[in-house]
Chain A
């Protein structure tokens, strides 16, 4: 049936159409101004002279009149092939015998969609639900509140920072804020599956990779900005309150932009897990397990033979990496240092996203 589109169409005009046809709904666009008669509704028995002089219309007008009512329908219980063949034949006949039906042409301009449209759409989505306000709001409160509190305590206790700058104190608030970001990351995609919105989304944008990419970009940008601003504010407050070594430019960069990147990347990992699991509660549980389980497991590794594994878990658990990112290495000096935690997190996220992209195109929505 993939014959080249024969101009025109099958269904005969509808003489039985009730004359009391309701007027088109108000939003129905006006006819294109250039249309001479301006009547998109098929005109029953329109005299030939009234047809606009369109070339293929004129051609088809010479074809025999349709006689659809008389057409024999195939019995439904024939062998499938025979039925198919007959249907195909019938469709062919209808093709050829039908008068031209003027198909509807909308005045709405047709736009070829691209990633930009998907980004605009995802931005509207993420800003128009409560979960975004809640998770990011709670994160800001935690990061700023705990950061200020720690600053006050440290200042009043004349805490000894051991030659380090006060920026490292910000890690406590960020650790808790991370949980909010993970939740938002999962919900960004998980809520679409939970509510059934994903079917509407996929219908509007059939490229699932584009949906996933747009979600990732919008989410990453939002979380990066919010986290960086929060981390910077806390860093300013804490360095102002607590006496310590003056922070280097590198430390400032890592304590603000770096932390923003690290937390946003962790959020992206959550989003990828959400896309793979397609279930918000399940994905959030997995992410919390991923963050907390290594530390909990390490605590119970009393055996001497497990010492190496215990050290690895302690050093590479996500909270340890975040603390290391601020400059303090956890459990000895062999763990990740400097910008290394960010590269590790980026690598993990890239793998998870690769899996998400691969599966999203082949799975049913």
Chain B
């Protein structure tokens, strides 16, 4: 076999899952590519696990399609050597030993016994291989699940919230493991509700909220667009301050509660300008929006957007021009948009 074999892609097209009235996954379309760690981010209940379950053929989609290299999961005749998945740490029989749990998985895919010992060693569970899984801590269960995913040495790996229950050493280990797996040219798809975790692990980011796709971007872009630094100003002489700043070529934006925000400018410069013109400042503070904050903003908006979409045309006051008018490529994408929205929210509060 050529070692330049075709890349392993996971493609979702309009994937939808309804449970009665509730739409768990709503028309998801994105692609997971090999050679990178793709982070799958969303708050609890956003539909991450449901999406992964549909990918693995556990749940049937209500509409749409998910394919792995153009095939459905149940068409793959050697699943474990193709895709390894960690769904949840407790997807195992507590009365079975770690070794036997992995052995029965290995046998169902024609994988040798010696490989079971290998993966147990990889995840550091060799010492408790003969112990029953129900005595395991959440972290050990998580490691056993990861061992199961690695069993077939597959080209595609999927982890659903792998760092849950792991101690700092374990978190560090799983981060490095995922990066090294991706660096070997494998496809790594990992879900999380922790932005900070994703920022350290993922190269590409897919964000969902309420089952809808909110962002599909490279991590570098996400950080660039969302680690926004700005200076916050409060002054009783706001109008004059704005004029002074405008003359100096600095744009200040009204952010509500009598505050002004200035993107990108240095606080020293603004302070000096104010002193020169003898303006009183009540506040002059550099601010940095964290990624976690950006993520929360992004997903909070999905709820808001959802409600508007159901009740009628979007409320343009609360929503920077509304979803329909967001022209592609204008103003740096959704990152910019939420920043604008954030300012307007502050006006409202």
A and B associate: yes
Chain A interface residues toward B at CB < 8 A: 1-2, 5-11, 14, 16-17, 21-29, 31-32, 35, 40-42, 54, 56-57, 68-69, 72-80, 82-84, 86-88, 91, 94, 100-108, 110-113, 117-118, 120-122, 124-125, 128-131, 191-192, 195-197, 199-207, 362, 364-365
When C-beta atoms are compared, the residue in chain A nearest to B118 turns out to be: A27
B283 contacts the other chain (CB 8 A): no
Q: How far is the CB of A230 from the nearest CB of chain B, in Å?
A: 24
A95 to chain B, nearest CB (A): 9
Contact of B79 among A91, A105, A196, A203 (CB under 8 A): A203
Instruction: List 12 A–B pairs whose Cβ atoms lie within 8 Å, in order of A's numbering.
Output: A9-B6, A11-B35, A78-B328, A79-B324, A87-B216, A101-B185, A105-B155, A108-B153, A196-B90, A203-B56, A203-B79, A206-B56
Asked if A362 contacts B60 (CB within 8 A), the reply is yes
Question: What residues of B have a CB within 8 angstroms of the CB of A105 in the complex?
Answer: 1, 3, 5, 155
A106 interface neighbour in B33, B153, B203, Cβ under 8 Å: B153
Residue B154 at the chain A interface, CB threshold 8 Å: yes
- Cβ of B73 within 8 Å of any chain A Cβ, yes or no, is yes
| Chain B neighbourhood of A103, CB < 8 A | 3-8, 34-35, 155, 185-186
A-contact 0/1 string along B213-245, CB 8 Å cutoff:
111111011000000000000000000000000
Q: Is the CB of B59 within 8 A of A365?
A: yes
- Contacts A21-B179, A40-B185, A364-B60 given; indicate if A192 touches B216 (C-beta within 8 A): no
Residue ID in chain B nearest A210 by CB atoms: B108
Establish whether residues B92 and A196, one from each chain, have CB atoms under 8 Å apart when the complex forms. yes
Interface size on B, residues (CB 8 A): 100
Closest to B305 in A: A77
Q: In the complex, what's the smallest C-beta–C-beta distance from A44 to chain B, in angstroms?
A: 11
Chain B residues near A42: list those with CB within 8 A: 35, 183, 185
- Is the CB–CB distance between A104 and B92 below 8 Å? no
How far apart are A98's CB and chain B's nearest CB, in angstroms? 8
Q: How far, in Å, is B208 (CB) from chain A's closest CB?
A: 10
A21 touches B96 (CB 8 A): no
Interface check B194, CB cutoff 8 A: no
Instruction: Verify if B247 is at the interface (C-beta below 8 Å from A).
Output: no
Q: Which segment, of B23-31, B248-256, B263-271, faces chain A?
A: B23-31
Question: A108 contacts which chain B residues (CB < 8 A)?
Answer: 81, 111, 115, 152-153
With A25-B122, A117-B107 as contacts: A195 and B150 at CB distance below 8 Å: no
Residue B88 interfacial (CB < 8 Å): yes
Selected contact of B3 from candidates A14, A26, A32, CB within 8 Å: A32
CB distance from B295 to the nearest CB of A (A): 13
Report A-chain residues with C-beta under 8 Å of the C-beta of B282.
Answer: none
User: B57 → chain A, closest Cβ, in Å?
Assistant: 5
Q: How far is the CB of A105 from chain B (nearest CB, A)?
A: 5
**Smallest CB separation, A22 vs chain B (Å):** 4
In contact, B107 and A14 (Cβ under 8 angstroms): no
Complex CA distance for A25 and B119, rounded to whole angstroms = 10
**What residues on B are CB-neighbors of A31 within 8 Å?**
3
Cα–Cα distance between A199 and B204 once the two chains are bound (Å): 27
- Please tell me if the beta carbons of A17 and B183 are within 8 angstroms of each other in the complex: yes
Chain B residues contacting A32 (CB-CB under 8 Å) are 3
Query: Contacts A11-B35, A32-B3 hold; do A24 and B105 have CB atoms under 8 A apart?
Result: no
The segment from B161-169, B285-293, B329-337 found at the interface with A is: B329-337
Interface residue? B97 (CB, 8 A): yes
**Residues in B whose Cβ lies below 8 Å from that of A11:** 33-36, 203-204
Query: Which of chain A's residues have a CB closer than 8 A to the CB of B342?
Result: none
For residue A88, which residue of chain B has the nearest CB? B29
* Interfacial chain A residues near B213, Cβ < 8 Å: 76, 83
A195 and B92 form a contact (CB under 8 A):
yes
CB contact list, B76-92 vs A, under 8 A: 76-82, 85, 87-88, 90-92
Given contacts A1-B11, A9-B33, contact A75 B328 (CB under 8 A): yes
